Amino acid sequence: MTRANGYLGKFLCLALLEELNKTDSKLIWMIREKDNNSARQRLINTFAPHNNQLTVKFKQLADKYLTVLAGDLTKANLGLDEKTWDYLSQTVDIFFMLVL
Domain boundaries, the chain: 7-91
pLDDT for the residue 26: 87
H/E run at residue 69: strand 66-70
> Tens of pLDDT along 32-65?
899 999 998 888 888 777 678 888 888 899 999 9
Asked whether the beta carbons of 100 and 6 are under 8 A apart, the reply is yes
pLDDT tens for 75-95 read 999 899 999 999 999 988 887
Under 8 Å between Cβ of 94 and 19? no
**pTM higher than 0.85:** no
